[in-house]
Amino acid sequence: MKHLYDKKPAEEYDFLVCNIYKIVKYPDRIYKNKDPKRGDLCFLKKLKGYNYLCSLEVADDELTVITAFRVRKESYLNNYELLWSWRGDIPSS
């Protein structure tokens, strides 16, 4: 989380620290992360009117948070493969 503290505005960092569990536990959408970016999955959650993305790495049946940030442009996700959506875009099974 230190890189977030160093690079993000204070209010964004504070918001992420207090809400990252909501992004990971209750995502609206799950994407496959692009190569060569670090992390396997990207969880997306809309909070307070903004989309927040959390990149996660899967290893030894554990999830590790790599980074998290507010998505400022919806087009940022255009080249990501959607794996799952809470809204029913893709069935969960």
User: In this structure, what DSSP letter does residue 22 have?
Assistant: H
* Cβ contact 66:59 at 8 Å: no
Percent of the chain with pLDDT over 90: 66
pLDDT score, position 11: 82
Higher pLDDT, 89 or 72: 72
Global pTM? 0.84
Q: Name 84's bridge partners.
A: 30
- For residue 77, the one-letter residue type is L
Model confidence pLDDT, tens digit, residues 39-70: 999 999 999 999 999 999 999 989 899 999 99
pLDDT score, position 2: 66
Model confidence pLDDT, tens digit, residues 5-23: 677 678 888 899 899 999 9
What does the alpha-carbon distance between residue 75 and residue 80 come to, in Å, rounded to a whole number? 10
The domain limits of the chain are: 2-85
